[in-house]
């Protein structure tokens, strides 16, 4: 929103809290599938295909939902996305692959509905701290993703498989968001954004912008690595010989909690220093840690979990940093540009990451998950090179026009 009419802290906190809680619950649903497929011994190739196809359709829907978000339907889409994503709480009631695909697709559609709308809302409530607020939103989702497999495993164990109970908090929160009265200034800002009619040309414009184009390429590589590792994590840790509690959520928790703990400091740094520099350093460190985890099964349990924590801190930092820069470049098309760097990235990276690593794992007789992840690690080269191609300089909270001039369209 316009900085001349800022929201008070007492108005900001409830909005941020509601969005972070909703993001938490949605990412709990997204994190269930990798563990569930291991618990019931689903075919890893078919499980990867379900993720790839479901992610392509569901997350690709962010392009459509981002357009509607920019037309002023953000609150409706946020509530709808939260409700639809709860389909994942019903995985345990079937082993039919077609039914499982339908449930996973609904979960991804809910995610695609929620993410650009929530990102658009959060980025509009403050122009001076957009990076920080975006990472608060991302941190809520990341904490949900980190806790997802532990929450699912404990619910499954404590309530004799009745995991439909996981849907109850989401229904309650969705109703609360629906009746919560947004400040008038937020609604006015939504109407101002809605005056822009999003078209396919918007996404063509984004690809023509050199900065957004290389950000997109870097995020394809980064998210392929991240989603591939999340998908194969239970099988990978089992292959490395770790204890069951580590394979069934403990290792996943450390990986994603590393990301959660680093996102808010990373967002703060993005408001002060060069996004390019932070992304480059993070990319190199995450590459080293990635292969260290894959080829160090002899490590003490504490060092193994610490390495996963640091890997998550560097690997998952890239997307919120890229979003913070992109929404500064496109302050009046925040829903569309968020969909561009989330939905349009995820609908490609999920088939490549989980889909690819699942297929590769079936091609090796021994240590398939480890060898598949080693091959997928080649995407680090693409991520680091694309980040290197970003314009140099300190990208801080200058005006949108100044950013456009310095980062320029081609």
User: Which tens digits make up the pLDDT trace of 179-194?
Assistant: 887 665 555 555 454 4
Is residue 42 within 8 Å of residue 225, measured between CB atoms?
Answer: no
pLDDT band (50, 70, 90) for residue 392: confident
Alpha helices in 240-317 (DSSP H): 244-245, 251-272, 275-294, 301-315
For 335, other C-beta atoms within 10 Å of its C-beta total 37
Query: What is the length of the chain?
Result: 410
Alpha helices in 31-91 (DSSP H): 32-39, 44-60, 62-70, 74-85
Per-residue pLDDT reduced to its tens digit, 86-105 = 999 999 999 999 999 999 99
**Residue 43 backbone dihedrals phi, psi, to 5 degrees:** -60, 120
Q: What percent of the chain is predicted at pLDDT more than 70? A: 83
Is residue 69 within 8 Å of residue 11, measured between CB atoms?
Answer: no
Question: In sequence order, what are the residues at sequence separation of 6 or more whose Cβ sits closer than 8 angstroms to the Cβ of residue 371?
Answer: 360, 361, 364
pLDDT band (50, 70, 90) for residue 385: very high
pLDDT band (50, 70, 90) for residue 242: confident
- Highest average pLDDT, of 139-148, 159-168, 300-309, 361-370, comes from 159-168
Between residues 202 and 161, which one has the greater pLDDT?
161
Which residue, 187, 70, 169, is CA-closest to 117? Answer: 70
And the tokens for 297? 């099964």
Per-residue pLDDT reduced to its tens digit, 327-360 = 778 877 776 787 788 778 888 888 899 989 999 9
Which value, to the nearest 10 degrees, does the dihedral of the CA atoms of residues 241, 247, 252, 258 take?
-40
Beta bridge pairs of residue 409? 209
- CA dist 308 and 84 (Å) reads 31
Reported pTM: 0.79
- What's the angle, vertex CA 291, arms to CA 288 and CA 294, rounded to 5? 150
Domains located in the chain, CATH noted: 9-407 (1.20.1250.20)
Between residues 408 and 161, which one has the greater pLDDT?
161
pLDDT at 400: 43
pLDDT at 406: 43
Whether 383 shows a pLDDT value over 50: the answer reads yes
Alpha helices in 159-250 (DSSP H): 167-179, 184-194, 200-208, 210-239, 244-245
Whether 122 shows a pLDDT value over 90: the answer reads no
């Amino acid at each position: 929103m316009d900085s001349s009419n800022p929201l008070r802290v007492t108005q900001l906190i409830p909005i941020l809290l509601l969005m972070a809680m909703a993001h938490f619950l949605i990412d709990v649903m997204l994190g269930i599938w990798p563990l569930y497929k291991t618990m019931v011994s689903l075919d890893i190739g078919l499980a990867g295909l379900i993720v790839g196809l479901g992610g392509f359709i569901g997350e690709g829907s962010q392009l459509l939902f981002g357009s509607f978000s920019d037309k002023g339907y953000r609150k409706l889409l946020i509530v709808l996305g939260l409700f639809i994503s709860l389909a994942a709480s019903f995985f345990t009631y079937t082993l039919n692959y077609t039914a499982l695909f339908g449930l996973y697709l609904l979960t991804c559609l809910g995610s695609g509905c929620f993410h650009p709308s929530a990102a658009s809302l959060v980025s509009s409530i403050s122009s001076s701290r957009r990076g920080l607020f975006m990472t608060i939103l991302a941190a809520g989702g990341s904490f949900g993703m980190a806790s997802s497999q532990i929450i699912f495993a404990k619910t499954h164990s404590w309530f004799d498989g009745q995991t439909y109970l996981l849907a109850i908090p989401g229904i309650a929160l969705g109703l609360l968001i629906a009746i919560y009265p947004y400040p008038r200034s937020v609604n006015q800002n939504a109407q101002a954004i809605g005056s822009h009619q999003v078209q396919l040309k918007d996404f063509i414009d984004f690809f023509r912008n050199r900065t957004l184009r290389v950000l997109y390429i870097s995020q394809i590589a980064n998210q392929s690595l991240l989603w591939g590792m999340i998908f194969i994590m239970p099988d990978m840790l089992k292959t490395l010989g770790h204890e069951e509690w580590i394979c069934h959520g403990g290792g996943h928790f450390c990986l994603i909690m590393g990301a959660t703990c680093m996102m808010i400091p990373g967002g703060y740094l993005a408001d002060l220093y060069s996004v390019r520099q932070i992304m480059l350093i993070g990319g190199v460190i995450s590459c080293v840690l990635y292969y260290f985890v894959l080829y160090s099964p002899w490590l003490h349990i504490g060092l193994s979990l610490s390495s996963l924590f640091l890997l998550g801190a560097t690997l998952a930092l890239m997307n919120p940093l890229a979003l913070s820069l992109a929404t500064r470049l496109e302050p009046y098309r925040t829903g569309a540009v968020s969909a561009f760097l989330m939905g349009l990235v995820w609908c490609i990276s999920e088939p490549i990451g989980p889909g690819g690593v699942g297929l590769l794992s079936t091609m090796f007789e021994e240590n398939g998950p480890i060898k598949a992840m080693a091959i997928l690690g080649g995407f680090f080269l693409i991520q680091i090179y694309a980040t290197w191609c970003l314009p140099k300089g300190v990208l801080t909270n200058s005006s949108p026009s100044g950013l456009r001039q310095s980062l320029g369209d081609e």
